[in-house]
Structure 1
Amino acid sequence: MTRTAVAAATVVAALAIAAPTASAAPKPVAVKGGHTSVTVAPAVAGALLSNGIAPIVTTPGKPSLTKVGGKATLKATYPVTGGSLTAAPLGGKILHKGGLKFTNVFNGKSLAVKDFTIDLNKAQLTGRVAGTKTRVPVFKLDLSKATVKVDKHGAKATHVILKLTPEAAGALNTTLKTKVFSAGLKVGTADTAPRF
């Protein structure tokens, strides 16, 4: 066999091997709706309130009270408005409306973030600072104890741990004139159920 024939055969073999890999690339699926709930850890809720920090859920998010380990705490539920996901590996973004406004009742200072986006590729939740176009990472997503299920109608992830990012902790402390927030603080957990 000539060198040309060997080279041609090698290229054909390489394409044959590469083709299934290329076709196996995850295909994004459009997210059409659903909801995400955030449950604040009771200890964190208590620490915020005792330091005069009131977390307020902004519309169309819906606030409610729930119990974790027998202790009352705040739960916020937000509508999913769009995004796209890949099933294997799980990735993509989930878009929301609504947000959280933190107010220091002792001095009247406040900071609000809204339009949350869950970015599974970067394992973080970002939010837009109200009144600006600036989007900041609010929480780092810890999936180590999460349960994730995906079917043809949607996905469901429960017990995703939310850890406050250094950027969010710094902005909250500076704006609210407090020291209650710290990087890595386990604020609570999130359960998300986007529909395809």
Structure 2
Amino acid sequence: MKRTVLVTAASAVAALVIAAPTASATPHAVHVKGGHTSVTVAPAVAKALLSNGIAPIVTRAGKPSLTTVGHQPTLKATYPITGGSLTSSPLGGFIKHKGGLKFTNVFNGRSLEVKDFTVDLDKGRLTGHVAGTKTRVPVFKLDLSTAHVKLGKHGADATGVTLKLTREAAGALNSTLKTKVFSTGLTVGTADTRPRF
């Protein structure tokens, strides 16, 4: 009798273990209602852009500010989050923003603006809409290995996400601005995102 009870209990536990993946196969998604994302340009990159006549300008509804990294001055841009959907296990989904970043070559007057950024956690990239076109391009690859992520009941905080310039963005910037300052894989800076549910 005792052996029968033990076998029955073991079978029940095994059934639960086998059934568990099925129960969590569809991750629960939460709707993103607001928040903000800040992008801090690496000081060396900011210096290289300015020395080559490339002025990065934060466009509405983004807000520019000056900050320091390692006691060196640099540019910081903060963008409001307008919506999205996130899952916690596995971490995924997307976050939408308003505002943009306009690069202008002061030597020849040529410019390129990318706006309305979307953070795509499933593909590990940030995309943007090229102003004046219907084209959306991958702007940055997201390196989450450097990030610190905290998930709460009403929001999430991801700080220190490394942003690396994509091949498509580097090519478009160099071609449009007639410069060679942008390169594929360039670590442009870091992002801190704080979506609220």
Structure 2 CA distance, aligned partners of 1:69 and 1:17? 49
Structure 2 CA distance, aligned partners of 1:99 and 1:172? 15
For residue 144 of structure 1, give the secondary structure of its aligned residue in structure 2.
helix
Structure 1 CA distance, aligned partners of 2:133 and 2:118? 16
- Matches of residues 13-32 of structure 1 in structure 2 within 5 Å? 19-24=19-24, 25-32=26-33
Tell me which residue corresponds to 2:66: 65
For residue 111 of structure 1, give the secondary structure of its aligned residue in structure 2.
strand
Question: Cα distance, 1:23 vs. partner?
Answer: 2.5
1:63-107 C-alpha deviation (Å, 9 max, x unpaired): 000000000000000000000000111100000000100000000
Percent of aligned pairs with the same amino acid: 76
Give the 3 Å change call, closer, same or farther, for CA 133–19 of structure 1 in structure 2: farther
1:44-75 C-alpha deviation (Å, 9 max, x unpaired): 00000000000000001000000000000000
TM, length-normalised to structure 1: 0.90
Tell me which residue corresponds to 1:81: 82
Question: Cα distance, 1:19 vs. partner?
Answer: 5.0
What is the RMSD computed on CA atoms of the aligned residues? 1.3
Tell me which residue corresponds to 1:132: 133
1:111-142 C-alpha deviation (Å, 9 max, x unpaired): 00000000000000000000112100000000
For residue 159 of structure 1, give the secondary structure of its aligned residue in structure 2.
strand
Structure 2 CA distance, aligned partners of 1:132 and 1:150? 36
Tell me which residue corresponds to 1:143: 144
Q: Would you identify which runs of 4 or more consecutive aligned residues in structure 1 move more than 6 Å? A: 15-18
For residue 126 of structure 1, give the secondary structure of its aligned residue in structure 2.
strand
Structure 2 CA distance, aligned partners of 1:100 and 1:18? 49
Question: Cα distance, 1:158 vs. partner?
Answer: 0.3
Structure 2 CA distance, aligned partners of 1:110 and 1:36? 24
